[in-house]
Chains A and B, each alone.
Chain A
């Protein structure tokens, strides 16, 4: 029973990491930038949904849409406003800029919603009562999270294969110069990538809000775990991000169940540290072609 629960909860908590990791990888694949403010995009979108649904009393669907639009818009704004000039700069510069943005977003959230509560609850889509799924009991919202992760992955796969924009993104990710040569507007691709990354974070936020609760500081720790998951999966692969997320979730729950709960938080980092020694490009990352 312990094992079944460890696996089940690993899967459901991994779904959260996967959702965020996918957004991260989405952006990285196209632009080469790790958006360290991604966690805060997640956080702000959740608060926007709260503001629309709970504070203004509008229906859930409008809150969801508002959050996604906000995530999309904010993602684009971050690129256009701040990260675009730094595309030519070193990794460290981009990092510091993204962190600066995360400070701003956190400060704004704290100023606007900080007085509302320490961890703000958000109503779930379905009834919160646990239901029996096979051998385990689960909270319905968690099943939704897993379902949404799968659906999102399929949607993204379809997006890349079937739409023009998706193909433009793939082309840009592959070789920027060649993409420009064939007339792809690379600038638009970058903006869109950031936008879609933000939108994915928003979806994750609204779906998970009933479980994670809303507070300004949720972003950074989640980002760290999602980043770890993305690296584990190989930063160039969306499927890798999902796999990485699930694996991180599983490691955490297995460590907590079979070792001791004090290992829960650190276990995934240790595993990844060692994994990178044997697989320097992550599980599904592309092989390293070194330019000399």
Chain B
């Protein structure tokens, strides 16, 4: 083919396709007279399903409860889930499918951080409201995108809170133990930033893999470094192994966890040795303690719509976040557009979900709506709330 031919062909293609690929800003996609379609983006399969499917089960319980009560301004919510498999290319495909095939009004999802980050540009450029329910990545809300909000505590908030807690309790030599996957790394970086801000350095920095069964060497190194407090950035399995092995060798520093370890009674069972939990504190997603009336109420709600499921921190994330979504939808009312959703959520101030430890407040410049970590610990087999602070970074 001669060069002119090629140029001409490319030119025709350019003109033809420019108009064809949808840059669409459709105002009322996903809203009909009777329904609102909300897209659920998260991992339904694979190990990430805990922060995807299980969270969505919690959210869907709230949506179905609202539907059973008559819907929102006469509309029932349809929650359409798509699997991002905790992997960037699947996340982009899932987001595009939700937007262009399922034609959702908004997205309520976001589990694995890397998947959410990958899907972020796709969702942002369509100006579709996205309420993030579990992803911890700070870059998702800072700098804020007009339509993207988060009800999850970010890595930075939790990590700063962990270091602050250690210092408040009088620890002088603080160490870190972390898992270095995408989830852990965000938090680890924030912990280091918190250390820098406080002008101190960690006395030891160990790594544990997410499915590790044996952590004694890490424990010993921390012990030899003389750490009197350990900031723990781990999932329950490695954390349980860590607590168990620390107890085994008689190493008893202050153990400071975060929301992934927030279900302290379950963690105690996973560790297998109740005494190992003596100096363990974690940030909790809930303000109640398991076994009391409130938790029974939530378990009943969950069992109604997802029979057989145990209430865990994951569904709690979904329930709290869905309460926010439902509240905003109610406030917008019958004249439902994406722009009005955005305006309304930005005005949300001090909203009590009844399940998350603190009030939800979003503003135009601050899309990180949840900033209240609650500290819990296990005292005589009972969960006790130790402290609730609102973190201003």
Contact = CB atoms under 8 A, between A and B. Distances in A.
B180 A262 contact: yes
A236 B207 CA distance: 35
Chain B interface main SS type: helix
A262 to B, nearest CB: 5
Interface stretch (B8-16, B309-317, B356-364): B309-317
Contact of A264 (B50, B212, B248): B212
A139 B211 CA distance: 18
Contact of A118 (B45, B50, B248, B308): B50
Interface residues of A, number: 45
A124 B272 contact: yes
B272 A115 contact: no
A212 B244 CA distance: 12
Interface stretch (B215-223, B284-292, B327-335, B372-380): B215-223
A128 B220 contact: no
Interface string A10-53: 00110010000000000000000000000000000000000000
Contacts of B54: 114-115
A253 B217 contact: yes
A16 to B, nearest CB: 7
B207 A260 contact: yes
B309 A115 contact: yes
A160 B45 CA distance: 41
A198 B65 CA distance: 45
B280 interface: no
B220 A5 contact: yes
Given A116-B310, A213-B240, A128 B272 contact: yes
Given A114-B53, A210-B272, A217 B46 contact: yes
Nearest to B250: A137
B15 to A, nearest CB: 45
B165 interface: no
A212 B272 contact: no
A147 interface: no
B273 interface: yes
A61 B236 CA distance: 28
A208 B272 CA distance: 13
Interface residues of B, number: 44
B249 interface: yes
B221 to A, nearest CB: 7
B199 to A, nearest CB: 25
B312 A117 contact: yes
B237 A137 contact: no
B217 A107 contact: no
A170 interface: no
Contacts of B209: 264-265
B236 A119 contact: yes
B51 to A, nearest CB: 10
Q: Which of B53, B240, B248 has the most CB of A within 10 A?
A: B248
A164 B47 CA distance: 44
Nearest to A256: B217
A221 interface: yes
A129 B266 contact: no
A138 interface: yes
A213 B75 CA distance: 43
B49 A110 contact: yes
Contacts of A116: 309-310
Contact of B218 (A130, A249, A256): A256
A138 B248 contact: yes
B306 interface: yes
A222 B309 CA distance: 27
Contacts of A138: 248
Contact of A121 (B57, B207, B272): B272
A107 B180 contact: no
A283 interface: no
B139 interface: no
Given A116-B310, A218-B211, A257 B272 contact: no
B312 A5 contact: no
Nearest to B313: A118
Nearest to A2: B220
Nearest to B310: A116
A257 B207 contact: no
Given A9-B214, A16-B213, A212-B213, A130 B247 contact: yes
Contacts of B164: none
B126 interface: no
Nearest to A8: B216
Contacts of B240: 119, 213
Interface in B221-250: 221, 224, 235-237, 240-241, 244, 247-250
A118 B214 contact: no
A80 to B, nearest CB: 27
Contacts of B212: 264-265
A5 B272 contact: no
Contacts of B50: 118
B343 interface: no
B35 interface: no
Nearest to A137: B248
A115 B217 contact: no
Pick from A107, A215, A249 the residue with the most CB of B within 10 Å: A215
Interface string B32-51: 00000000000001110110
A202 interface: no
B295 interface: no
Interface string A103-136: 0000100100011111101001000111000000
26 contacts: A5-B217, A5-B249, A114-B49, A115-B308, A115-B309, A118-B235, A119-B235, A119-B237, A119-B240, A128-B244, A128-B272, A130-B248, A130-B273, A137-B248, A208-B213, A213-B270, A217-B46, A218-B211, A221-B211, A222-B211, A257-B217, A261-B206, A261-B221, A264-B207, A264-B217, A265-B212
Given A121-B270, A212-B213, 15 more contacts: A1-B220, A6-B217, A9-B216, A13-B213, A107-B45, A115-B54, A115-B309, A128-B272, A139-B248, A216-B47, A217-B47, A252-B214, A261-B208, A262-B180, A265-B212
Closest 10 A/B residue pairs (Cβ): A115-B309, A128-B272, A257-B217, A130-B248, A13-B214, A256-B217, A121-B269, A217-B47, A261-B207, A262-B207
